[in-house]
């Protein structure tokens, strides 16, 4: 039967992700910075000091200061007391624009400094106090908005795709990257074909395909713009005989669209959500939850969790093992984790986190295509032999993280796959005794993105590099239903094979 919830990762606007736990807070969605500026405006108009108003409403001066600076969201009851003390209606604090031009500038600058990617612009943080002239504040706001405007203009074409990636990642974080409905569907199929232990074989995958009414065929001429092609009319999944990917995973991903009840994606956001779902489904079949969770729990008890053990025990790639660990780590082991797939030059292709690590990002909050710090495990591992498991501690501005990583060759060049946990959870991991340790100052440009001053002066204006474009990370939904696919080539392929007697069933 088709999956009853075709969009396990429904695409939602970012605004719907920001409610958090503040449903009972004062603003009910109002901006705490703007609310705080209105409180400050009315307090000063009444001639009250911070201490005066704090006494009237039974708050500490520091607590009231946090509210006025927008760093604490006051509850409705507290704002009601503040409004009575100031002789205004609560609605005057909750709604409307900033009360003065100065307040408007302060709100805009405060939002700017809290925006994702602000630190990467190289603009120093500036505290807005009474001594900062209005014209200086206006210049700061104007500078920031001009710089961001230019960035957005340069990113106009890929903007939607990058936002879709960022919002999908937020949904995955919200669910701790664990989706029980997909787990249940995968487990049902594994049981249906009688697989009980050990790696899932190709024959087991063929039995799964037959169970859902499909046949898997291997042919030499699968279009190069695709990994697989599914003929829904004749109930066939075509795999390429040229190899390159695990045929089990490729077949399961193709079947995942059918099992999960997908429809042709309406936009790039839905395309991304479906891709995450089929990858999850394939991994859940190849590394079944029912067998791997007890193994992970025993490894946790023995303080010997290792991603490479999943790779070896289930005959999957290191990347699949890393994904599967991240699916299950929070739900079943209580571990917060992060994951990255990174090219040799440090560009992020995939990433996930729920452990507070700060990925590099641009002003829009997107991380795909951003470059990780040279001190991070994901890049240091490229200095090690290919396939060697490398462990490292990295001290960052948000704390210390332990990571394990492997660099592997691919047709597109070497990539690293890294998995990490915060320092307070490393006691469960194999490799925690490593003495490898580095310090990362990113996103401060002075850490590793800005050249040393002497070197920059010596070569100022003398070098013009030609950048390698990671266009597949930035492309928006092109004409046709499926991004990057040559529709004509695919349809000719399917039509040709629909009546061919030369296809052979994969073994």
What's the rounded mean pLDDT across residues 349-359?
92
Query: Which residues touch 301 (CB under 8 Å, ≥6 apart)?
Result: none
pTM: 0.68
Count of CB atoms situated within 10 Å of the CB of 391: 21
CATH tag for 26-126+133-154 (out of 1.10.540.10, 3.40.720.10, 3.40.50.620, 1.10.260.40): 1.10.260.40
Weakest mean pLDDT among 17-21, 429-433, 451-455: 17-21
- For the segment 150-161, what is each residue's pLDDT rounded down to a tens digit? 565 444 345 667
Q: What is the pLDDT confidence band of residue 25, given thresholds at 50, 70 and 90?
A: very low
Domain with CATH 3.30.450.20 in the chain: 329-458+466-476
In order of 167, 407, 439, the CA distances from 16 in angstroms are 10, 37, 36
d(CA 357, CA 368): 15
Q: What is the pLDDT of residue 90?
A: 84
Kindly report, as residue ranges, where domains of CATH 1.10.260.40 are found in the chain.
26-126+133-154
- Distance, in Å, from the CA atom of 271 to the CA atom of 263, rounded to the nearest integer, reads 10
Question: pLDDT tens digit string along 172-212?
Answer: 999 999 999 999 999 999 999 999 888 999 999 999 999 99
β-bridge partners, 218: 239, 504
- The CATH architecture to which 329-458+466-476 belongs is 2-Layer Sandwich (3.30)
- Burial zone of 109 (CB within 10 Å; 0-12 exposed, 13-18 middle, 19+ buried): buried
Q: Are 236 and 217 in contact (CB under 8 A)?
A: yes
| Cα–Cα distance, 499 to 303 (Å, whole number) | 57
Do 285 and 271 meet the contact criterion of CB atoms below 8 Å apart?
Answer: no
Strands 215-219 and 338-343: unpaired
Q: What pLDDT digit, counting tens, does each position of 288-345 carry? A: 999 999 999 999 999 999 999 999 999 999 999 999 999 999 999 999 999 999 999 8
């Amino acid at each position: 039967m088709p999956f009853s919830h075709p969009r396990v990762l429904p695409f939602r606007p970012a605004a719907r992700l920001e409610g958090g736990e503040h449903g009972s807070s004062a603003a009910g969605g109002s901006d705490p910075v703007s609310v705080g500026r209105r409180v400050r405006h009315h307090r000063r108009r009444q001639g009250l000091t911070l201490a005066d108003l704090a006494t009237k409403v039974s708050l500490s001066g520091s607590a009231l200061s946090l509210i006025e600076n927008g760093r604490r969201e006051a509850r409705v009851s507290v704002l009601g007391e503040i409004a009575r003390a100031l002789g205004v209606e609560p609605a005057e604090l909750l709604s409307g624009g900033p009360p003065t031009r100065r307040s408007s500038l302060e709100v805009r600058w405060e939002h700017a400094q809290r925006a994702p990617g602000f630190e990467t612009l190289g603009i120093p943080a500036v505290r807005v106090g009474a001594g900062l002239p209005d014209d200086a504040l206006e210049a700061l706001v104007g500078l920031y908005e001009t710089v961001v405007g230019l960035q957005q203009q340069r990113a106009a074409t890929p903007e939607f795709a990058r936002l879709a990636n960022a919002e999908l990642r937020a949904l995955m974080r919200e669910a701790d990257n664990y989706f029980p409905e997909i787990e249940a569907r995968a487990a049902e199929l594994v049981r249906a074909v009688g697989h009980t232990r050990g790696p899932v074989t190709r024959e087991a995958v063929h039995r799964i395909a037959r169970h859902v009414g499909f046949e898997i065929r291997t042919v030499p001429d699968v279009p190069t713009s695709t990994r697989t092609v599914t003929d829904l009319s004749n109930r066939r999944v075509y795999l390429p005989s040229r190899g390159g990917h695990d045929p089990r995973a490729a077949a399961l991903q193709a079947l995942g669209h059918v099992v999960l009840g997908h429809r042709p994606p309406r936009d790039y956001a839905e395309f991304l959500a479906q891709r995450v779902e089929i990858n999850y489904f394939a991994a859940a079949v190849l590394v079944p939850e029912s067998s791997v969770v007890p193994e992970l729990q025993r490894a946790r008890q023995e303080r010997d969790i290792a991603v490479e053990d999943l790779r070896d025990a289930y005959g999957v790639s290191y990347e699949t093992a890393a994904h599967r660990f991240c699916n299950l780590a929070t739900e079943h082991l209580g571990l917060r984790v992060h994951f990255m797939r990174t090219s040799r030059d440090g560009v992020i292709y995939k990433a996930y986190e729920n452990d507070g690590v700060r990925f590099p990002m641009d002003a829009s909050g997107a991380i795909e295509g951003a470059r990780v710090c040279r001190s991070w495990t994901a890049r240091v591992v490229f200095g090690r032999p290919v396939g060697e498991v490398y462990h490292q501690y990295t001290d960052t501005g948000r704390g210390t993280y332990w990571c394990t990583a492997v660099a592997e060759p691919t047709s597109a060049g070497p990539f690293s796959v890294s998995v990490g946990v915060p320092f307070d959870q490393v006691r469960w991991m194999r490799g925690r005794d490593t003495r490898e340790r580095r310090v990362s100052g990113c996103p401060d440009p002075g850490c590793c993105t800005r050249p040393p001053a002497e070197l920059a002066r010596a070569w100022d204006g003398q070098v013009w590099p030609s950048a390698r474009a990671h266009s597949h990370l930035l492309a928006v939904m092109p004409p046709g239903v499926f991004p990057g696919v040559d529709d004509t080539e695919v349809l000719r392929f399917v039509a040709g094979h629909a009546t061919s007697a030369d296809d052979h069933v994969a073994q």
